[in-house]
Structure 1
């Protein structure tokens, strides 16, 4: 889960909370093998799917065959975007 704080210029604080699948928070894992397979992983820092070269073994679940598969698994679900207003 990540949060973003923003001052709206009013007497309130706007907090957005994005909930991601645990799978999408796993680090990119190239693996110890020496293959060169193009794959995609979700980067929780940039909040984007990024390509990388996978070695071919011992992957984790944040390893996708296509950009589309990564985006589908790791997008923020509209119903999961929460807004909180806190009176200052």
Structure 2
């Protein structure tokens, strides 16, 4: 009797659906990372200024903006030291 019931089970759910793995977006650079890498800061800042409507509130643009502010106020070395404390 058990064999008859086992044969009647629905086999359509035996397979798990395929998992879709989406890559994580790259982590936004920090203000300190931008201060330590002036080339990256200038590249990102140019993109952010060119398209503030789409990019302006992204973490990269916000961090680049803070890095630019600190550069103007403190200069590179003092800005870096102030963040490493």
TM-score normalized with structure 1 length: 0.24
> Which protein has the bigger helix share?
2
* Greater share of residues in strand: 1
Give the number of the structure whose alpha-carbon radius of gyration is greater. 2
- Structure with the larger RCO, 1 or 2 (CA within 8 Å, 6+ apart): 1
